Structure 1
Amino acid sequence: MYAQKKLNAISLAFYGLFCLHPIILSAFMVAPLIVSIFSSKLHISYASSASLPINRAQFKNNQISASLPKDSEPLDEESSSIEDDLLKDDMDNAISSETNVHDYIVTYGDTLSNIINQYDVELADIIQLIRCDRRLHNLHIGQKLSWTLNNKHQLQHLTWERSHGEIRCYERTKKGFKVSLSLKMDLFQRKITTVIVNTSFINSARLAGLSTKEIQAVIKSLQWQIDFRKLRDGDRFEILTMYAMLNGKKQKSELLGVRLHNTNKNYYAIRAVNGKFYDRSGSDLTSRFMRFPTVKKYRVSSSFNLRRPNPITGKIIPHKGVDFAVPIGTPVLAIGDGEIIVSRFSSTAGKYVAIRHGHQYMTRYMHLNTLLVKVGQKVKRGEHIALSGNTGRSTGPHVHFEIWVNNQAVNPLTARLPCMEKLTGKNRRNYLDKAKKIILQLNKK
C-alpha cells in the first residue's frame, strides 16, 4: 500500500512537470527575444544619429554599382562635357549648319532602315514611314535622302529625291507620316561659278553667289584631296552646278563637277551616276574606313544610346559611343586616314585621341593608357595611335569609341562608313565620257 502511494506521488510530480514544460519552454524562447529587442534599443540610443543616412547612402551606392555595366563609364552622374574639343569654325558650320539635319547619298546595299538607324532613330518610326509609302523599300544607288530629327531623336521630316525630276517629302503627323509634297521638275539649267579664295573659301564662295548647300557639296567632293583650311589667297575654283526651276524659282541644285587650281596643280571631282565623286581618270576619291579600332572585335560592354536613362534617377545621360572591353595595353588603331586634333588627358575621358577624317568625319578613342600620337600629326588607316587602358571615369579596362558625322554622334556599329567603289565596264566608260565633257566646260574659264 505504501509502495503504491509512493508510485502515485512520483507520477503526479512528473505529470506536473509535463504540464509546466510548455510554459518553461516558452519562457526560454521569449527571453532571448526580449534581450535582443532591449539590446537593439540600447544600440540605437547610443549610436550616432548620422549613422542612418550614411547607411542609406551606402545602400543607394550599392544599388547603382550593381546597375553599372562592367568595363564602361559609370552612370551615377553625368560626365562633364569634352565636346569643347570639337573644332567648330566656319568650315564646320558650312558642313553642318543645322542640328539634327542629315543627308545621305544611297549606295550599294543600302536600305532606309540601315541609313537612318545609325542616328538612333526608333525602328517604329521607320516602319510607319514605309507604311506611308511602300516605294521607300526600293531605294536606288545615287538617290539622295535628307531628314530632320526632333529633340526626342524621332524622325520629323524626310525628303527623298527619286530622280532629277521628282522630289517626295514626308512629314510626321499624330497618326504617323504622310507625303506632304511631290514636285515634278522638268526644266534644268547649268551654271559655272568661279570662286577665287580671298581670306577664306566660305566667305569667297558666298560672295560668288553659292548657297550653303552648294558650298557643302563642294567641300564634300574634295574633302579627301585637300584641306580647305589650308587654301591660299588666289586659289581658284571652277564649279559646275545644275539646278531645277519651278515657277521661275530655283528649287534644287546639284553639283556636277569641280576644278581647283592650287599651287600650279589642278584637282578634279566629277559626279558619277551613283552620286559619288571620282577624279578625271575614274578613281574613287573616298578614303576607306575600318569598322573597329582594334585588330579584332572585342565584347561590347556598353552600347550606343542617345536616350540612355540612369537606372536609379531616370535622368537621360546619352552614351555617344560604344565601349569595347579590352585588356590594358591593347593596340588602338585609327579607323581611317586623318589628322590628330586632340591627344591629351581629361578627368572624365582619361587619356584620349580625336582624329579628323576629311571634313565630315571625326573619331574619338577614350580611357587610353598610352598616347602614341601628337596634335597635327597625319595618320593612316590601321596605324597605332594608342594603347588601351582604364583612365578617367571608368569601371574597368575598355576603349570608348565614337564616330561623328557632320559634328553629330552616330552609332559606330551601324554607321554608314565611307567605302571605295570602283567603276568598271560600261559604268566606267560612261563616266569617262561624261567627265571629259565636264572637264572641258570647267577649263573654259
Structure 2
Amino acid sequence: MQQFVRSITLAYNNLPRPHRVMLGSLTVITLAVAVWRPYVYSPVMGPSTSRTVPAGAQPARDLAPEASEPIDQSPADNDDDVPLADDLDEKVAGETGVHEYVVSTGDTLGSILTQYGIDMSDVSLLAQRFPQLRNLKIGQKISWTLDGGGELQRLSWEMSRRETHTYDRLDGGFKESVANQAGEWSNAMLTGTVDGSFVTSARAAGLSGPEINSVIKALQWQLDFRKLQQGDRFAVLTSREMLNGRSEQSELIGVRLRTGDKDVYAFRASDGEFYNRDGAGLAQGFMRFPTVKQFRVSSNFSPRRLNPVTGHIAPHRGVDFAMPVGTPVLAVGDGEVVESKNGSGAGNYVTIRHGRQYMTRYMHLKKLLVKPGQQVKRGDRIALSGNTGRSTGPHLHYEIWINQQAVNPLTAKLPRTEGLTGKDRLDYLAQVREAMPQLQFD
C-alpha cells in the first residue's frame, strides 16, 4: 500500500505545474460536492416523498405509507395543537386534566376510554380487578385523570347520587375507594338577567361553575351564548345536595332562556342527555369522515406515538388520511369557522366549533375556502387537501376535540340527533310537565 502511495505521489510531482493545479482543484470540488449533496437531497425533503399528486391522477392506496406521515411539532412549537377557548369554556377550580362523561346507550368502559386514547391494557386491568365496572348504567357519570404522558391515573365512577367509586393507580395496578354522600337533595330555582357575559350573569344569579357548564351544554345547539343581548332572561331548575350547609353536588333538571322574543328549553332525561319539550334530540348530526370518499388511514390517533423522524414519543391528536392533493375537504357538522389560516407545523388549516363541546380541525391544506366567523353546514366544502406545513406527503390530518380534549375521530361517540321513543318518551314528557311551570322568570 505504501509503495502504491509513493508511486502516485511521484507521478503527481512529475506532472507540469498547470496540470498539478488543475488536478488539485478538481479533487477539492469533488470532495465539496460529496459533503454537500446528501443535505440537498434529503430523503425527507426530496421529490420522492413530497411530490404533488394531481387530484384523481392515482388512487390514494398507491401512496406509500410514509408519504402521508406528518413530522410532529416540537413541544415549543405546539400552539397550533391547542383549540381556541373563551370564558364559556371556563374550567372549574381543580378540574384541570379531568374529563367527564355521561354513560348512554351502548356504552362500555372500553368503548368510552379507548376513544380518548387510554391504553386498552389499563381498561382490561380495571375490568378484571373490578368486575362491577362491566355493568355501567345509562345516566351514570364517570371521570378520569391522565398524567402528562397520557397514562390513566384515576378513574371515578358515580354509581348514584350518594355513592362514588374511585380507582387510583398504585404499584402497577389500581386501588378502589368508595365515598358515600350523606346530604339531602332538594330542588332549587334560580333566575337571572344577562348583563355582560352569560357566565358572569349566571354566577351573579347564584349558579356554580358546574351548573353553568351544564346549562351551556344543554342549550349549545339552540343558540350562541356569545350573541345574547343585554336584558335576555334565564331560569334554571337544578337539584342540589346539601351537606353541612354547603352544596356538594348538583344536577340540572331543566332550563329556559328567553332571547329577544324567543324562548328555548332543554330538559335532562334519564339517560343524562338533553332534549326539547317534545322529547326531540337537540344535537346536530356529524359525518364520520370529512370527505365524500373514505380514504386509507396512514397514521392513526395515538396519545403516545413514536415519531418516525425524531424518534421521540409525541401525541398524534388526530387521524391522517392519505389522499391526492386537491381533494375536497368537507365540514363534518354545522358550526362556525373560528380559524382559517396558515400555521407553522399545521400548514394551511381550518378550525370549526360545533356547539360548545365539539371542535374539529383540518390541517396541511392546499387551499382554504372559508373565513373566520363564517357559518357552515354539514357537508359544505371548506378546503382542498394538500401537503403544506410539516408534512412528508399529500394527506389530510383531521382532529375532533370534545370539551377541549382530543379524541379518536374513528371511534368518538358523535352527537345524537334522534329523539326519545316509547316508554322513555312518556316518562320524559311527564318530567317536562312537572318542571315547566317552575321555569318562570321573576
Tell me the TM-score normalized by structure 2: 0.84
- Report deviation, 1:214: 0.9
SS at match of 2:71: coil
Report % sequence identity: 50
Structure 2 residue 277 is the aligned partner of structure 1 residue 280? yes
Q: Which residue of 1 aligns with 2:226?
A: 229
Pairing of 1:19-418 with structure 2 (within 5 A)? 69-75=66-72, 80-83=77-80, 86-94=83-91, 98-185=95-182, 187-246=184-243, 248-311=245-308, 313-418=310-415
- Equivalent AA in structure 2 for residue 182 of structure 1: A
Match of 2:20 in 1: none
- 8 Å contact kept, 2:191–2:441: no
CA RMSD of aligned residues (A): 3.3
Partners of 2:193 and 2:232 within 8 A in 1: yes
State the distance in 1 between where 2:38 and 2:160 align: 64
User: C-alpha deviations, 1:248-292, integer Å up to 9, x for none?
Assistant: 543221011001011011110100111110111111111211111
Structure with the greater relative contact order (CA < 8 A, sep ≥ 6): 1 or 2? Answer: 2
Q: CA deviation at 1:175?
A: 3.8
SS at match of 1:69: helix
The one-letter amino acid of 1:353's match is: V
Change (3 A) 1:396 1:440: same
- Where 2:305 maps in the other structure, the secondary structure is coil
TM-score normalized by structure 1?
A: 0.83
The equivalent residue for 2:55 is none
CA contact (8 A) 1:321 1:409 kept: yes
3-state SS of paired residue (1:432): helix
| 1:95 positional shift | 8.0
In 2, Cα distance between the equivalents of 1:300 and 1:432?
44
Per the TM alignment, residue 54 of structure 1 is displaced from its structure 2 partner at its CA by 5.6
Residue of structure 2 in register with 1:7 after alignment: none
Task: Give secondary structure in 1 for the equivalent of 2:399.
Answer: strand
Alpha-carbon spacing, 1:94–1:74, altered in 2? closer, same or farther (3 Å): closer
Per-residue deviation, 1:82: 4.2
Is the CA contact 1:349–1:393 (under 8 Å) kept in the aligned structure 2? yes
Structure-1 separation of matches of 2:416 and 2:362: 21
The 8 Å contact of residues 94 and 215 in structure 1, kept in 2 or not, is answered as no
Aligned equivalents of 2:403, 2:387: Cα separation in 1:
29
Aligned residue number for residue 28 of structure 1: none
1:301 Cα deviation (Å)? 1.2
| Cα distance in structure 2, aligned partners of 1:39 and 1:203 | 88
More helix by percentage? 1
Deviation at 1:195, TM superposition (A): 2.3
Matched-pair contact (CA < 8 Å) for 1:95–1:359: no
Q: Which residue identity is paired with 2:232?
A: D
SS of the residue 2:436 aligns to: helix
* Cα-to-partner distance string for 1:177-203 (whole Å, 9 max, x where unaligned): 122223154731110111221111111
Q: Distance in 1 between matches of 2:8 and 2:406?
A: 59
Cα gap change, 1:428 to 1:312, in 2 (>3 Å): closer
Tell whether 2:442 aligns with 1:434. no
Distance 1:348 1:235, change over 3 A: same
In structure 1, what is the Cα distance between the partners aligned to 2:119 and 2:7?
Answer: 59
Cα deviation code 1:105-144 (max 9, x no counterpart): 1111111112111222111222222233211101111111
What is the identity, as a one-letter code, of the residue corresponding to 2:174?
F
Cα shift at 1:165: 3.1
Q: Aligned letter for 2:282? A: L
Distance 2:360 2:7 in 1: 64
Q: Tell me: CA distance 1:203–1:39, structure 2 relative to 1, closer, same or farther (3 Å).
A: farther
Change (3 A) 1:36 1:291: farther
Q: Which runs of 5+ in 2 are unaligned?
A: 13-22, 50-63
- How far is 1:402 from its partner? 0.8
Q: Which has the larger radius of gyration?
A: 1
